[in-house]
Structure 1
Amino acid sequence: MNLSSLYIRLQHYDRFQVDQMMSAISHNEGVNYNEKNFCTLLIALSHDIRLYVDKIAINLRQGSCILVLPVQSYTVESTNKEAQLARFTFETFEVEELTLNKVAYPPLLYGYPYNLLFSQVKQVLGNEANRFCSSLSILEMAMMQGRLQLILGMMAQLDQQATQLHNEEKINLVQQTVQYMEQHYDESLTVEQLANMAGMVRWQYSQQFKILTGKKPTDYLTHLRINQAKELLCNSAEPLRKISRQIGFKDESYFSRCFHKLTGNTPREYVNIYFHTQQKTVIDSFGREIHVPKDATRIVTDGKFTLGELLVLGISPIGAAISVMKNSLIYHNKLRNIHSVGYWVDPDKIAQLQPEILLLSYFHPEQDLQKLDAIAPTVILDSKFSLFERLRYIAKLFERSTTAEKWITTYEDKVRVVRRQLADAYVAGETAAVYLKLGEKFYIMGQNGLAASLYESLGFRPSAKVMHLIEQKQAWIEIQQHQMNHYAGDRNFILAAPQELQTVANCPQIAALTELTLGKTHIIDYTWNYDDPITRGRLLEVLPYIFKKKTM
């Protein structure tokens, strides 16, 4: 179904200001919604707006456009007293000769923001973007209907661009060469050699490489080498000529010129600055002002909500609480050089690593925070942060914001591609529930792990009982086996240990759940039950195979 072949009939348009406190903005306000096929398009005219669709939080930036289905409810809030939203309510029809056949919604992603340029949105909306309105004349309605069609067209164009951008085969081939560069940066590498590895001609490879990394292959390799040089300069007593050879430069003078070009300092100046570095002040989730080194490299973290975030930003901590997580993470191969600091964080083990900063995603009251602060400045993240919020906070802390935004943009584009691939795999507005089986015990997940991907990225809605958990801020609870049906959605996902995947289907309670939901039950390895960016990104690659696999 193509957007250009549809007829969009505007029912209502208005613009309103969001109160500082939670404002229950119902999408049936001022309009008769006896028929259940009215969609709502919300457009953020200001920054700092948080939208809740079926209780799932979505942060909107200025220019964000989001489609809400008739079966979905929403509320909005903002810390900005002058925050404003524009709202279109409309019906969608498919035109067949002289007949209009109603369709549920236009072929766009629902419950997921399209981040358009606000200047373009404002130009399309015209004067309506600058004045409040609750009712329009017939002429104004006709004009706004045309503007609505333009906005929807811009959203569809964004989808098309994302699909074209992510030619998976080419991206995967280039990604393999990027990994090769990261492991062999000290060797003599040429663009021709890397292009041959990817099976592409040089110009095509360079083009795809820049789309993926934002840099030319030669620039990316230079950055890799210089970043390694920084670490060696500050942690090694080797002479400059030896360090330059260790990172792949044959000529010491050329190395020094490249180093100065990228850092603004000569290698010697950089070392002097490093050992006389200034500090910066950050605010953690406890509201504490923490003074941390600007260029900290010796980082220790607890791991669950920080480790994948650090790694995807190109930061490898010297220690993390990986004693339990290590075997259940899909990226366990990236943990070889990270020291374990216990189940959570053991102060004695941490002290041995001589860290410059401690980054914790949660804090137990029984732990001695002062003892940790005595070892190194300790920053505690807000446990309510979503993935993007965590990534942006950590990126800002370590001055990697550009890297974070590139990852987020890439992830959003991948979501669009995957949702297109899964267009026929599930129905718009389906509810979902995620169960975790550990031995004989069963748990129902709230909004973390796999559930976060389903609700925040794929557009599934939590079942009623799961939504109650989310409202109560519960990440998960243990349930009895006879309670499984109480939390069931239209589609259910059972997470289990790899060795149990073949036998878990024989569990009577799961069989009953499958019968209740007409067989829409997927059994998945519990290594996907993490909410870090590495797992979330790789999960998008395997989701089409999960949905294609025969359900129970």
Structure 2
Amino acid sequence: MSQLEHTPPILVLNEIERRTTIDREASYWLDLHALLFISGGNGEVTLDGWRQHASRGKCFLLRANQTLHLHNGETEPLAYFLVLFSIQQDTAELLARNETLVFEPCSRLEDQLEELLVSSRRRNDSDEGRLNDFQLHIRFQTMLYEVLHKLHSDKQGAENARQSVERTIDYLHRAYREEIEIGRLAHEANMSRWQYGSLFKSLTGQTPARYLNSLRIEQAKTLLATSSARIHDIAARVGFRDEYYFSRRFKQTTGMSPTQFAHSRGRSPRIFSIQYLGELLALGIRPIGTNRSMLSALPEACTDVLPVDEPLDIGQLTELNPDLILYPSFVPDELARQLKNVAPAIEIDWNADVYTRLQQLGLLLDRAKEADEWIDRYKAKALRAKRLLKDTVREGETASAFIVHADGLFVYAGHHFGHTLYQGLGFEPSPGVFALMERNRNVKWQEIRLEDIPYYAGDRIFFALPGQGGDARKGREMLRHPIWRNLTAVREGKSYIVKDYWANYNPVTLDKHLDDTVRRLLRSP
């Protein structure tokens, strides 16, 4: 019997959903690989600084562990299918990179995705249900093969007219800051200016010049609302060489001058934050800088929030010229004194829960409404998550979470990971964790010995493992230890090893962590 020359990839469909972006934008943390297919509308897709135009028929193959943002354009909202899948084997690295293509005829792929969606809703534990799962798996593999085949063909062959125009639109999303001539774009697409403009408008609903202007104005609106840069600097940063021309076009588009727009959005002071980047982002504020480690936890802020080295470099901080500094209550007195010599500095209680911190910052920065809205959205999302898990998590089921940090083993209480488990998903704390929380309601975690784990372990247990270094080695040793392996949750397949960045306690991480934990639980026994 002949053998295959190349080992084919092994892929597992995890989830498929069809959505329309009702709000101005939607964001997802992709803990799995994904296929995103735009079935209607137009707008923009961004992933960690990678910008692409989105319109009907556009298809994106996306690697795991990145943040996906979808932004509506000026005409109709984006409608899309989002397919999440895990890769058990891909030796050829067919899915190792972000890829984009135009799938034509788009109705064919749309019909396949609709069939997958309908079939996924019929899953059950009967014999017929297991056969349906097998058929669903085959359909998913076939659909993904067609997408990969089309991608390969596009790379080997010549562009068609739509692909040529799509390529120039993607260029506009990346290079809107530069001086751009529409005639040159038409030449790059190998079309007359009239042909190019006609096809461009059919894809975006706007002429090329108006589309470019809209891109620049949207970026300017974000900067005006979230930064304290001068109007002249903002105009230059979004591609306008003349401040007066920028102001005129901005008023034509929005009905108000850039200065009026900034004031109407409660433009924030130039803020430097130690630890509270996630809270500021949740309030719609982008600080000018933060401590470097926060950008590792929240990479979506890396494009325009500047890092300051740790231990905190006061010289770097001074060069940022902040109007306000926010710092946590664990900062030593000497460092707090140095901060106050740079700018007005306000201490924020590090031991407070995330809701209290967010509301405190909301009052301080005139964003109380935004703080309450985020809390309401999170609680509503948590209720939806509980409904999704009603057949997976039984009433009264307990859970606990552990992490290796600074060469020690810690169990979480009601904050950090505990917030997701107990407030977000409604698990009960294990008796050991409950006793810990009763002794101190604001305790975040408690250092324990390895032999203490059975006392704190719940019906389900989570272990946050660093990716590298001494803590990672120590964590892996603990996971091989008989004490861990003999826990009931481990033996029953109800233990979960997760990345240690989920341990960060801020609104943005909590929001993504809720999604990630729900997906893990739905895939578990």
Letter in 2 for 1:206: P
Partner residue, 1:314: 284
Partner residue, 1:170: 20
Deviation at 1:248, TM superposition (A): 12
Partner residue, 1:302: 274
User: Which has the larger displacement, 483-492 or 400-409?
Assistant: 400-409
Letter in 2 for 1:408: I
Q: How does 1:216-255 map to 2 (within 5 A)?
A: 224-229=219-224, 234-235=229-230, 237=232, 245=240, 252-255=247-250
Aligned length: 346
Letter in 2 for 1:422: L
On the 8 A contact 2:464/2:499 being kept in 1, the answer is yes
CA distance in structure 1 between the aligned counterparts of 2:467 and 2:271, rounded to whole angstroms: 32
CA distance in structure 2 between the aligned counterparts of 1:184 and 1:248, rounded to whole angstroms: 27
Letter in 1 for 2:504: Y
Deviation at 1:427, TM superposition (A): 1.3
Partner residue, 1:443: 410
On the 8 A contact 2:216/2:239 being kept in 1, the answer is no
On the 8 A contact 1:431/1:462 being kept in 2, the answer is yes
Q: How does 1:457-472 map to 2 (within 5 A)?
A: 457-470=424-437, 471-472=439-440
Shift of the 262–179 alpha-carbon distance from structure 1 to 2, 3 Å rule, reads farther
What's the CA shift string for 1:265-303, capped at 9, x where partnerless?
389xx7xx99xxxxxxxxxxxxxxxxxxx8543211111
What's the CA shift string for 1:201-228, capped at 9, x where partnerless?
999953989xxxxxxxx99996653342
On the 8 A contact 1:318/1:353 being kept in 2, the answer is yes
CA distance in structure 1 between the aligned counterparts of 2:47 and 2:451, rounded to whole angstroms: 52
Partner residue, 2:167: none
Partner residue, 1:509: 483
Letter in 2 for 1:417: R
**SS of 1:265's equivalent?**
helix
On the 8 A contact 1:448/1:530 being kept in 2, the answer is no
Deviation at 1:386, TM superposition (A): 2.2
| Alignment of 1:206 onto 2:48 | no
CA distance in structure 2 between the aligned counterparts of 1:376 and 1:180, rounded to whole angstroms: 34
Gap runs ≥5 in structure 1: 1-166, 210-217, 275-293
TM-score calculated relative to the size of structure 1: 0.52
Gap runs ≥5 in structure 2: 1-16, 28-42, 61-69, 81-210
On the 8 A contact 1:466/1:487 being kept in 2, the answer is yes
Match of residue 344, structure 2, among 372, 377, 387? 377
Deviation at 1:455, TM superposition (A): 1.0
Partner residue, 1:101: none
CA distance in structure 1 between the aligned counterparts of 2:457 and 2:234, rounded to whole angstroms: 64
| Alignment of 1:493 onto 2:428 | no
CA distance in structure 2 between the aligned counterparts of 1:251 and 1:333, rounded to whole angstroms: 28
Deviation at 1:376, TM superposition (A): 0.9
Shift of the 205–384 alpha-carbon distance from structure 1 to 2, 3 Å rule, reads farther
CA distance in structure 2 between the aligned counterparts of 1:195 and 1:411, rounded to whole angstroms: 31
**SS of 1:373's equivalent?**
helix
Partner residue, 2:500: 526
On the 8 A contact 1:225/1:248 being kept in 2, the answer is no
Shift of the 525–485 alpha-carbon distance from structure 1 to 2, 3 Å rule, reads same
CA distance in structure 1 between the aligned counterparts of 2:238 and 2:73, rounded to whole angstroms: 30
| Alignment of 1:535 onto 2:509 | yes
Letter in 2 for 1:353: L
Letter in 1 for 2:509: T
Match of residue 424, structure 1, among 391, 414, 421? 391
Shift of the 353–439 alpha-carbon distance from structure 1 to 2, 3 Å rule, reads closer
On the 8 A contact 1:433/1:489 being kept in 2, the answer is yes
Shift of the 257–171 alpha-carbon distance from structure 1 to 2, 3 Å rule, reads closer
Deviation at 1:483, TM superposition (A): 1.1
Shift of the 463–240 alpha-carbon distance from structure 1 to 2, 3 Å rule, reads closer
What percentage of residue pairs aligned between the two structures are identical?
A: 21
Shift of the 517–446 alpha-carbon distance from structure 1 to 2, 3 Å rule, reads farther
Deviation at 1:454, TM superposition (A): 0.6
Partner residue, 1:548: 522
On the 8 A contact 2:461/2:489 being kept in 1, the answer is no
Partner residue, 1:261: 256
| Alignment of 1:415 onto 2:415 | no
On the 8 A contact 1:322/1:343 being kept in 2, the answer is yes
User: Which has the larger displacement, 442-451 or 251-260?
Assistant: 251-260
Q: Which structure has more RCO (C-alpha within 8 Å, separation ≥ 6)? A: 1
CA distance in structure 1 between the aligned counterparts of 2:355 and 2:392, rounded to whole angstroms: 27
On the 8 A contact 1:432/1:492 being kept in 2, the answer is yes
What is the root-mean-square deviation of aligned Cα atoms in Å? Answer: 4.7
CA distance in structure 1 between the aligned counterparts of 2:405 and 2:20, rounded to whole angstroms: 38
What's the CA shift string for 1:509-533, capped at 9, x where partnerless?
2112246885532222222112211
On the 8 A contact 1:299/1:357 being kept in 2, the answer is yes
| Alignment of 1:401 onto 2:368 | yes
TM-score calculated relative to the size of structure 2: 0.54
Deviation at 1:494, TM superposition (A): 1.4
CA distance in structure 2 between the aligned counterparts of 1:543 and 1:512, rounded to whole angstroms: 23
